[in-house]
Every structure is written in C-alpha cells, then in structure tokens.
Amino acid sequence: MKSKLKILMVYSEVAPFSKTGGLGDVGGSLPKALKDMGHDVRIITPQYQSINERRYILRDVIRLQNIGVSVGAETHQIHVKSAFLPDTKVQVYFIDYKPFFFRKGMYTDPKTGADYPDNAQRFALFSKGVLETLNRLHWQPDIIHCNDWQTGLIPYYLKTLYLGNPFFSQTSTLFTVHNFAFQGWFDAKNAAAIGFDTKNRSADSGLDANGGVNFLRLGIQSSDLLNTVSEKHAAEAQSSAEFGFGLEKLLRSRKKQFFGIANGIDTHVWNPETDKLIPHPYNFQRIPEKEGNKRALFERFGLPFKAGVPVIAMVTRMTGQKGMDLVRDAFGPIMALNGVFLLLGQGEEAYETFFKKAVKKYPGRVGVHLGFDESLAHLLIAGADIFLMPSRFEPCGLTQIYSLKYGTVPVVAPVGGLLDTVEPVKPRSERGTGFVLAAIDAKSLVAALKQAVKAFGDPRTWQRIQKNGMRKDFSWEASAKRYVQLYHKCLLLIKT
C-alpha cells in the first residue's frame, strides 16, 4: 500500500479565496489536513474576479500558459496560475479564463439572482481544463477527488473522452456530493453546446430522457467511489426523493460504493481562543468573557444592549433548505419568547422582504444584515447565545459545529449532519450539546426554542451545555483518515 498518495482535489470554491457556503470551507480545510498527514495534495479551482491576486500572491506558471481546451465546437485558451493555501504548503492552481470566470458572481448573477445562462459551458471548460492542466504539468495523481456538480464531468470525461488515455490509466476518482439539491441540470441546447451528441440518446450517451444533461448524475454514475458529508445523510439520500432529489434510485444502485464521512472544521479559522475576527477571545474555561462579544454584536446591529436576554442567531443562505419558511411562519411565537433575534443571510427575495419588515415590527429586538460578511458571521457565532438551524435537509452543516465550538447552543432540525453532530439535551442528564426539534414544523421549532430559552435562564445548566459542546473534537483528523481509507479503496479498483 502506498503510504504517500498524490491527491488532486477539485473544488469550485476554496476559502479564503472564494466561498458561497460550506463547500468553500471544506475546500480550504480538508486538503490541509491531508497534507499534514504527509500526502502530496494539490487543488484546482476557478480564478474568479473576487479573488485578490496580490493578497494571495497568485503567480503565472510558464508551462501552464495558453492551454487549448475545447468545449463543443469552440476551443478556449486558458491560463493557470498558482498560489499556496494560506499558511500551508498546499499548492492551489487557479484556472484563469476571464470570459467565463471574471464576473461579479460565482454561479449566479448578483443583480438578478439567476444562474448564469452559460454555466454548462463554464463548468465543462473548468472540468476539461483540470484534466488538460494535469497533462501539461506531467503530474499524474493517484486520486482526483471531485466535489459537487461543478466537477461532475471530470469522472465522466475520464470514462469517455479520456478512456484509454495512458496518462490517466492509474488515476481513480472519488466524488463527494455536498448537496443533492444542486445538480447542474441543463437542457438539450446547452448539452449540444458543450459537445454532447443530442441526437444519440442511447443509454451510454450521457443524456437524460429530454436530451439534457445532469452533471451531478454523470459524476455519480462515473466516479469510482462516492460519498456525502455525513453518515446519516448517506442513508437519507438513498431513502426518498425528499433527500435524494431524484437520484435516490441511482444512489441505491451504487450503495456498496457510497459512503458518509462527516465534515471537520478548520480549527485555526474557527476557534474562539484565537479568532482574529472577534474582539474578545475566550475558551471553555473562560466562558463569561464571551459576553464582550455579545455587547459588540448589539453595537454592530445598532441595537441597545440588554443583559440577561437570550440572543437567537442565524447565519445562513436564505433558502427553503434552511427552513426559512418555518422561521417566518413561527416568527410571532418566537418573538413571544422575549429574546433578541439576529440574522445574517442572503438569498430568496421573499425572505429578505419578510425579515426587513420584522426589523420595523419589533424595534430594538430584531437585527437583520442582508449580504455575505465573513467577519460578521464570526461575531454572530461568538456573541449569540442560541444558534438556530431548522433545516429541511442538511448534508452536514458547518455553522452548528462552529456554534458548538463557540459555546453558542444550537437548536437544530432532526436531519442529516445536524443529527450526527448535535447531542440532544435531555432532562435529568448531564450530557447534551443542543436542542433538536421533534419534527420539522413551526410548532416543534417554537417548542425547541422554548426549551432552550428556559435552559438559558438557569446559568448552571446553560454553562454545562455550553461546555459539553466546546469540549467536543470536530477537527478534521478522524474524517481525513476516513478519506484516505476511501482513496486506498479507489486504488484497489484499478485493474493492472
């Protein structure tokens, strides 16, 4: 068994360079953990406009200039730059193709909120660009670890266009699905534009019944092994359309090759003791110092500070996945619990409008910041008392884990990674790190919050719950080892 693997990790977002959600956090932290284990780990990601070239010292790589990549009838010349993941020796290659990636948004146009109409072309170019870059680099990875629909064509291309190519004959693929709801589903016109033969709809054409193409499906079908980001969600995704979004049957057909591995967290970035984005660092032995962050939080939202009042916070994409409809429907009873509600998020317009109105309806008690703000996310998670996450589905979820580490007690829905990471507080037990809704509805949401607010009123109980969470180990160590096991399993599949 090889002790040192060559691993290429492909992510459409890598924090701190680029991030719209948890995928970026994972892209910026799992590679580090694998590198620390001694593996040769490299990352390829798109170079978006928002990436600060000077700050992160992106350099041109002479032999990675002018690489011709064909997508459908067109050939595009890409360039590849390189940098290191901050404070590590993990090399990151950025695919620089301005017409596709130099835009205000990563996947959607911030002006309209709609997906870019050429996303199929953008991520087909990216996927093929990854393979062509490896070729130019003469670096033959043992594993290409792909993530989410944006990279789904890589395993597919390896099993079709690049099949028999000796350069990749010793390379296997692992495909990690972070979210089954985003599939990269494109119609026949788009499929044709990226080179699919839309007239041939045979079983191995890669096309679906309508002549369109689904990047996630192709990734799942073509990769050597698969996983999602918690054990619970791996079971859920196979169980019903509610969690598998139409891919449940396919997943069941691959169940022997489909695993669940929980995400870890970057303990350098999310650690209340060393966090540079919060004014008052603390740890589980100095919990009262957390209060300084609560004060700063009220100030940041322009609200009068109230001692002893529970602050309920959310940091989230404002979509159906995150249970925003439940929060909206239960908002009156939530506010009747006499806490303060603070939200940082962006997403669907209807929710944005609702929460803007709530600020006016409950003066001094509701704070809403619409937008994406990394430092405010840290301050909220540090300064709040209760973190609310009533997701309808949650493959893993990172914010509830960050909250646990910061002594901010999570109130979560009984799904996926939330169940795998939050241990319910039970009466007459010393254990428990948070509160879990009995069911996913507005009534259960209010009931769980009520329990949390009651516990908050008893400082001894509250500190015990906080400490239980803060002491848990959510570092990548255990999960990175599980990924290495999967990589070895992948290698065994290569026929020699």
Per-residue x/- track, 379-418, ligand GLC (CB under 6 A): ---------------xxxxx------------------x-
Instruction: Residue 64: name its binding partner from ligand ADP, ligand GLC, none (Cβ under 5 to 8 Å by kind).
Output: none
- Tokens 């992948």 found at: 490
CB of 319 to ligand ADP, least distance (A): 8
User: What is the chain's Cα-based Rg?
Assistant: 23
* Whole-number Å distance between alpha carbons of 14 and 18: 5
Work out the angle at residue 461's Cα, subtended by the Cα atoms of residues 456 and 467, and round it to the nearest 5 degrees: 100
Q: Can you spell out the DSSP letters for 260-325?
A: E----B-TTTS-TTT-TTSSS---TT-GGGGHHHHHHHHHHHT----TTPPEEEEEEEESGGGTHH
Whole-number minimum distance, CB 209 to ligand GLC, in Å?
27
Among 29, 293, 346, 444, which residue sits at the site for ligand ADP (rule: CB under 6 A)? Answer: 346
Residue 412 C-beta: closest distance to ligand ADP, Å: 11
Distance separating alpha carbons of residues 126 and 20, to the nearest angstrom: 18
Residues in the interface with ligand ADP (CB under 6 A) total 17
Mask for 203-242, x = binds ligand GLC (CB under 6 A): --------------------------x-------------
Query: Which are the contacts of 35, defined by CB distance < 8 A and separation ≥ 6?
Result: 41, 88, 89, 90
Strands 91-96 and 74-84: antiparallel
**Considering the rule CB under 6 A, would residue 265 count as an interface residue with ligand ADP?**
no
Give which of ligand GLC, ligand ADP, none residue 417 binds (C-beta under 5 to 8 Å, depending on kind): ligand GLC
420 binds, among ligand ADP, ligand GLC, none (CB under 5 to 8 A by kind): none
Residue 489 CA to residue 105 CA, distance in Å, equals 37
Binding partner of 374, given ligand ADP, ligand GLC, none, CB within 5-8 angstroms per partner class:
ligand ADP
153 binds ligand ADP (CB under 6 A): no
Query: What does the block give as tokens for 446?
Result: 């209010």
Identity of the residue numbered 456: F
Specify the stretch interacting with ligand ADP by CB under 6 A; choose among 58-66, 93-101, 251-259, 311-319. 311-319
Q: Residue 272, interface with ligand ADP (CB under 6 A)?
A: no
* Residue 88 tokens, joined: 């590590």
Q: Which of 23/158 has CB closer to ligand GLC?
A: 23
Question: Which of 31, 345, 414, 469 contacts ligand ADP by CB under 6 A?
Answer: 345
CA distances from 240 to 244, 248, 279, 320 (A): 6, 6, 45, 18
Of 252-271, binders to ligand GLC (CB under 6 A) are: 263
Choose the contact partner of 262 out of ligand GLC, ligand ADP, none; CB within 5 to 8 A by kind: none
Residues 373-432 that bind ligand ADP (CB under 6 A): 373-374, 377, 397-399
CA distance 231 to 234: 5
156-195 binders of ligand GLC (CB under 6 A)? 178-179
Residue 314 to residue 196: CA distance in whole angstroms? 42
In terms of Cβ atoms closer than 10 Å to its own Cβ (0-12, 13-18, 19+), residue 79 is middle
Binding site for ligand GLC (CB under 6 A): 21-23, 26, 178-179, 229, 263, 394-398, 417
Which residues form the interface with ligand ADP (CB under 6 A)? 21-23, 25, 315-317, 344-346, 372-374, 377, 397-399
